[in-house]
Chain A
Amino acid sequence: MIDDFDKLSVTDLKLRGMPSDQILAEQKRRGMSPGAIHDAWYPKPPTYDRIGSRRWRRLLVVGTYGGWLLLAVIMKLASTPDSSFPVIPFVPLANVVVALVWFGRRTYLGREVLAGDFGLDERLIQNRNQAFRRAFQLFASFALIAWLLSLVAMWLQPVNQGLTNAVLLYMGAALLGTTLPTVIWAWREPDPLTTNEESA
């Protein structure tokens, strides 16, 4: 019997030459529940595996960023020179929605992506680093332009309208700063294996 049975996955046990029926018998002998046995045989893929098709991810990028931009333009047009309403409540709310979408379980920005290299192989580390590098390039460019524009906006219009413009620019920068690495990763990652390919 393999000593570290509890520490090894079913795949590892098989690779060490333990037959499937013996693994199952040993799991039952150790009092594992049917659910635990099922999970041991069919482990849930880590978060970064549940990524969906590239087409779906790209639609999500266009939907979230495009939706945010559309809302920002509408709110900007709806705001008046003497009031920042409705920019102030709605645009930050849109930021929260977009961030929640991209922080969700089906997208990339899981804890493991930011926490370190744990659980990532060389391809995933490489993709993560490329995404962060590209995100920084884009974000830095946008932030510099937005910074200058916001100063000009408040200098030319030291009333609510200037504040509205500045808030819009700040919210745009905040959105990019928090979600862009994930979005770039999602945009670039190839299609995952299909169900048929996975069982191969």
Chain B
Amino acid sequence: MLRAERDLSRQQLADALGINYQTIGYLERGDYNPSLELAFRIAEYFGLPLEAVFSRQPFAPMSSQLYRKEESA
């Protein structure tokens, strides 16, 4: 999602992070858990806090998060 928002291909993100592009795919599919070092690098690359990029629980769909925000506002 973050990558798509910034219009980056897997190869571009992988090159920027210095990792194999397949690893980006496995991270996105949840097939691989990154080291803390890589997790921080990814979060820094996107300029977001770690918990905004990674979570132990699956993220809720963005539409439902937005809808809840609008309701509570």
- How many interface residues does B have (CB within 8 Å)? 22
8 Å CB interface, B5-26 against A: 9-12, 15-16, 18-23, 25-26
Number of A-B contacts (CB under 8 A): 49
The CA of A114 and the CA of B12, in the complex, are separated in Å by 27
Are B11 and A123 in touch, CB under 8 angstroms?
no
For the complex formed, measure the closest distance between the CB of A119 and the CB atoms of chain B, giving whole angstroms: 8
Are B12 and A193 in touch, CB under 8 angstroms?
no
Q: In the complex, which residues of chain A have a beta carbon less than 8 angstroms from the beta carbon of B46? A: none
8 Å CB interface, A143-200 against B: 190, 192-193, 197-200
Q: In the complex, which residues of chain B have a beta carbon less than 8 angstroms from the beta carbon of A192? A: 22, 25
Are A190 and B20 in touch, CB under 8 angstroms?
no
Q: In the complex, which residues of chain B have a beta carbon less than 8 angstroms from the beta carbon of A48? A: 20
Are A124 and B20 in touch, CB under 8 angstroms?
yes
Known A190-B31, A200-B10: A121·B15 in contact at CB below 8 Å: no
> Which stretch (A11-19, A73-81, A85-93, A100-108) binds chain B?
A11-19
Q: In the complex, which residues of chain A have a beta carbon less than 8 angstroms from the beta carbon of B18? A: 121
Known A15-B12, A190-B31: A122·B26 in contact at CB below 8 Å: no
Q: In the complex, which residues of chain B have a beta carbon less than 8 angstroms from the beta carbon of A122? A: 19, 23, 34-35, 37-38
Interface residues of B, dominant DSSP: helix
The CA of A123 and the CA of B34, in the complex, are separated in Å by 8
Are A193 and B16 in touch, CB under 8 angstroms?
no
Q: In the complex, which residues of chain B have a beta carbon less than 8 angstroms from the beta carbon of A14? A: 12
For the complex formed, measure the closest distance between the CB of A70 and the CB atoms of chain B, giving whole angstroms: 33
The CA of A198 and the CA of B37, in the complex, are separated in Å by 25
Q: In the complex, which residues of chain A have a beta carbon less than 8 angstroms from the beta carbon of B29? A: 190
Are A123 and B32 in touch, CB under 8 angstroms?
yes
For the complex formed, measure the closest distance between the CB of A112 and the CB atoms of chain B, giving whole angstroms: 11
Q: In the complex, which residues of chain B have a beta carbon less than 8 angstroms from the beta carbon of A22? A: none
Q: In the complex, which residues of chain A have a beta carbon less than 8 angstroms from the beta carbon of B11? A: 11
Q: In the complex, which residues of chain B have a beta carbon less than 8 angstroms from the beta carbon of A124? A: 20, 23
The CA of A15 and the CA of B22, in the complex, are separated in Å by 19
Are A193 and B22 in touch, CB under 8 angstroms?
yes
Are A121 and B25 in touch, CB under 8 angstroms?
no
Are B10 and A121 in touch, CB under 8 angstroms?
no
Q: A9 contacts which of B10, B15, B26 (Cβ < 8 Å)? A: B15
Interface, chain B (partner A; CB < 8 A): 4, 9-12, 15-16, 18-23, 25-26, 29, 31-32, 34-35, 37-38
Given A122-B23, A193-B22, A198-B25, 4 more contacts at CB 8 Å?
A15-B16, A49-B20, A192-B22, A193-B21
Identify the 3 closest CB pairs spanning chains A and B, nearest first. A121-B19, A193-B25, A123-B23
